[in-house]
A and B are shown apart, each in its own frame.
Chain A
Amino acid sequence: MSKHTKGPNLLHDNVGVLKSRMGTFYPGSHVIFRGHDLHTDLKDMDWVELYVFGITGRRFTKEQLRLMHSIWTYTSYPDVRLWNNRVAALAGSSRSTGNLGVAAALAVSEASIYGRGIDMRAISFLNRTRQHMNVGGNLAECIRLELELHRSIAGYGRPLINGDERNQHILELAKNLGLDQGSYLRLAFSIEETLFAGRWRMKMNYAGLVAALVADIGFSPREYYLFLFPAFLAGMQPCFIEASDRPEGTLYAIPCADILYEGESTRTWLNRNNS
């Protein structure tokens, strides 16, 4: 028992001990946030600035913060059909609490075909591809390997439609802010060119574009993943409110007949084969 065993000495050393580099509060006195007094040193930060400082410990320029704000703004859709928003709305329709509905909606936003699952894959693919290219690798080979691993390229193509209404707006803003010249963005466009020209016919979507823009700001994949957590948030509350204001239980009302049953025929429990 040696290779992976860490305790119980390690656990003993940690009984009753809470060490932190991140911060603490001194009731009635002050709060330390990543080494700074929240109410004096950081009091003028806007919320997104504090949020990304909490994640990275780094400061960002006004232009970078403006872009980060808009990355969230441009992908907040108050459309109840979207699966995560629908969770918040169903909570409203079922007369649950807004906090529970929205928390669950954010949790399901870590999906494999959209949201955090795709975001992590997108930035990871960009990172690995750039490393590969830096040592003389071939882009087509990177794409082939990624397709072998995941059967798709995160950030390209889209669940509902091939094309993304958000891209032109965020690109225009990035250009105006002087943040459209990064090497990850160039790589992302090269990937799109290769994919679109090839048999895949896939265009870059918002996840691919934003991953490149934020990687160019210097975020690691984990920082990027945590940054995007509230990305869809602003679209959720409207869905909750509307469903809460309508008669209870009327959102996605489903009659019994709308379960399309494809299973076993009716059978008798007492006569089942029980060996």
Chain B
Amino acid sequence: MSDTDNPNVIRSKIWREEPEPDNAFATRAAFCRGYDVYGEMLGQSRWVDMLFMLFQNEAPTTVQADLLETLAVALANPGPRDASVHAAMCGGVCGSTAASSLMAALAVGAGQLSGGREVFMSMEGWVECDTDLDAWRKRLAGLDAIPGSIWPAPDHPPGFDPHGVGTATSVKQTLACLARYGAGYRLPWLQQNLTGLEAASGCPLALSGVAAAAFTDLGFAPEQGEMLHLLLRLPGAAAHALEQRPLGYKNFPFGTVELEGEIAEESA
């Protein structure tokens, strides 16, 4: 039977495996984009080389790998105040499974406020507007909701912080650091045009907006940036979930609900 007649094949441009002679299911060699992963890349390549190459056909240049690694450091831990990490801690603090803590972080961190969807939409902005400030002004004036979407209508311009007053120092530091790599023209342009973009959006730039520009400069498509953003924020969620477990729920905020409406007075 040829491969094209075999209904069980999985098509891939990313990965190929060669079996051991005695076992069709044991991997003798695995190749990522043509490179021998266990025979040659191991010990020679960086984690970010592999990460980059899983999404793109070619290995990153040193500058691209450096930028991706630095971005990964910036995104690694959103911190315990972040909603996605909070969700992971809700799993950790009561002894839920490891995977459920990460699933919780992914679900909450998928959204349009600091999450994967925000990065996706911000990257769509780069595809649509590139470095045309007028096009950005038009886009930031208000995104239309897509009829029938499972996602809610955007509450704020993607990539910007609806609760901000000025650009947070951590955001400025990240932008300045990433722009210095010179891996693409968007990060420097974002730095140069920050005032105009923030005025147009009515909000200061958020870390998600910096990440979106960096992913675009690295050649990733919006759906790839969304995935990477989800992935790269998980280390902090994992660590904080584990940290809360021995502390226990009694040392974790619970709160008191104040009921609103007619029933509130009767029930209290």
Contacts and interface: CB of A to CB of B under 8 A. Distances in A.
Interface stretch (B24-32, B82-90, B122-130): B24-32
A181 to B, nearest CB: 26
Interface string A142-161: 00000001100010000000
A8 B263 contact: no
A138 interface: no
Given A20-B257, A32-B267, A263-B33, A258 B44 contact: no
Interface string B235-268: 0000000000000000000011111111100010
A36 B266 CA distance: 10
A1 B163 contact: no
Interface stretch (A11-19, A172-180, A184-192, A233-241): A11-19
Given A5-B164, A100-B103, A263-B12, A269 B148 contact: no
Interface string B39-59: 011001100000000000101
A20 B260 contact: yes
Interface string A89-125: 0000000110110011001001000001100111111
Interface in B55-91: 57, 59, 61-62
A274 B148 contact: no
B178 to A, nearest CB: 20
Contact of B15 (A7, A23, A117, A261): A261
Contacts of A32: 259, 263, 267
A17 B166 CA distance: 25
Q: For the complex, would chain A's binding face be called helix, strand, loop or mixed by DSSP majority?
A: mixed
B37 to A, nearest CB: 9
B9 to A, nearest CB: 4
Interface stretch (B131-139, B154-162, B169-177, B210-218): B154-162
Contacts of A266: 31, 34, 36
A268 B33 CA distance: 11
Interface in A3-49: 3-8, 10-11, 16-21, 23-24, 26, 30, 32, 35-36
Contact of A261 (B12, B160, B204, B259): B12
B201 A104 contact: no
Contacts of A16: 255
A198 interface: no
Contacts of B26: 256
Interface in A216-275: 221, 225, 253-270, 272, 274-275
A128 B148 CA distance: 10
Contacts of A263: 12-16, 33-34, 57
A2 interface: yes
Interface residues of A, number: 66
Given A18-B258, A21-B259, A259-B9, A274 B267 contact: no
Nearest to A128: B147
B89 to A, nearest CB: 17
A122 B149 CA distance: 10
Contacts of B256: 18
Contact of A21 (B15, B163, B260): B260
Contacts of B18: 256
Given A125-B148, A257-B19, A1 B59 contact: no
Contacts of B45: 269
Contacts of A154: 148
A259 B10 contact: yes
Contacts of A256: 17-19, 24-27
A110 to B, nearest CB: 6
A253 B25 contact: yes
A24 B259 contact: yes
A169 to B, nearest CB: 26
B25 A268 contact: no
A107 B6 contact: no
B198 A1 contact: yes
B162 A120 contact: no
Given A24-B259, A100-B97, 8 more contacts: A7-B165, A36-B263, A97-B97, A100-B99, A110-B150, A263-B57, A269-B41, A269-B45
18 contacts: A1-B165, A5-B164, A5-B202, A6-B163, A21-B261, A24-B257, A96-B99, A100-B97, A100-B99, A103-B103, A107-B107, A110-B150, A120-B150, A225-B150, A254-B8, A259-B15, A261-B31, A269-B41
